[in-house]
Amino acid sequence: MESPKAENTSADDAISPTDSSPALNVLCAICNEFFRASDNVCYTNRCGHVFHFVCLTRWLRKSRSCPQCRTPCGDHPLPRLYLNFTEVSAECDDTPIEEKFYKMDTHFEWRPMRLGEDEESSSELSHLPPDEAVECGYDDEGDPAYVARAYYGNERLPAHYVPRKKVAYAGWDGKAFPLTDGVELLVLKDCDHKWVDGSNGSYPLGALDTGYSHWGEVTYTGRAMYKGDMRLGKVHPSYNKMFIPHKGKEAGVLRYQVLVLTPREPDQQ
C-alpha cells in the first residue's frame, strides 16, 4: 500500500482545513490533522514516523529530534511517502466525525520548553510560562502546575508543568515520571478554555486532543480534586478513568473535568 520515494523538497506545502480530498484515518502527530490525498507526507529516515512535510520542517527548525519518539534526525533529507487513498463508503464507516472550531497555530500552540539544555543555551527566564499558559491546580508538593504535554517512548502524554522545579510530570504504565526533554506548554492565542464534567473515561465535544497512546488512542487533559488539591491528569477513554501522576505512581479517578477550548467572544479578540 505504501511506496516510499526519496524526495528533497524545499517548498512548504500548505495544509488546507477545507480540503475535500479523501482523508486517511491517521493523524499527523504535530498538527493533529488527518492525512489527506493532496498532502505532502514525509517520514523521518531514522525512526520512520510520518508527518506532514510542512509540519515536520517547521518542527526541525526548533528541534533536531523526532517529535514523536525524540530520536535524533540529523541533517538528512526527508523522503516523501506516497499513499493510496480512497473514499470510505457509508456502509463501511458510519462513525461521526467531530468538527472542531479550533486549529493549532491559529487558536493555540504547544510551545517547546528548553528545560534540559545547558545554561549557556537557555536564559534564566526560559523556564517561566507566558501569560497565556493555562495554570490549573498543583503538583503533589503543592507547587502551581500548568497544562502541558510530553513525549515518552512512543506516546505523547498529557502532563503538568511545574515552573519552580523546571520539570513536567506525566503518567505511563502505572508510574509517574519527571520529564525535561520533549516538554511542550499549552499557550492560548485566539480562544478561551473551560472545564467540562466527565466520568468513567468520557470526554465532551471540543475536548483538546492532548496526547495519544502507542496504539493510536487519543488521550485528553483532565483535572480532579485528589487528596485535597486540584490536580491535572490524563483522561484515558479505554481505561474508563483519569490518571493523576502522584508520588511516583498513577492514581486513577472516575470523576473529573476535561479541558475544552472555546471560541473567543468578538469583543475579546
Q: Which pLDDT value is given to residue 197?
A: 97
Which CATH number is 2-83's, of 3.50.50.60, 3.40.50.1700, 3.30.40.10, 3.40.50.300? 3.30.40.10
The per-residue pLDDT for 86 is 58
Residue 233 C-alpha cell reads as 491528569
- Provide the whole-model pTM: 0.66
Give the sheet arrangement for strand 50-52, strand by strand. 2-5, 80-83, 41-43, 50-52
Q: What is the pLDDT of residues 119-178, one digit of tens each?
A: 544 556 678 888 899 999 999 899 999 999 998 877 899 999 999 999 999 999 999 999
234 CB-contact burial (10 Å; exposed 0-12 / middle 13-18 / buried 19+) = buried
Which of 170, 119, 125, 180 lies closest to 147 in space, CA to CA? 170
Residue 166: its pLDDT value, please?
Answer: 92
Q: Hey, what amino acid is at 41?
A: V
**Tell me: the pLDDT tens digits for 30-88?**
888 888 877 888 888 777 788 888 898 888 888 888 888 777 776 666 777 776 665 55
Q: What is the pLDDT of residues 214-256, one digit of tens each?
A: 877 899 999 999 999 999 999 999 999 999 999 999 999 999 9
**In the chain, what are the domain boundaries?**
2-83, 108-268
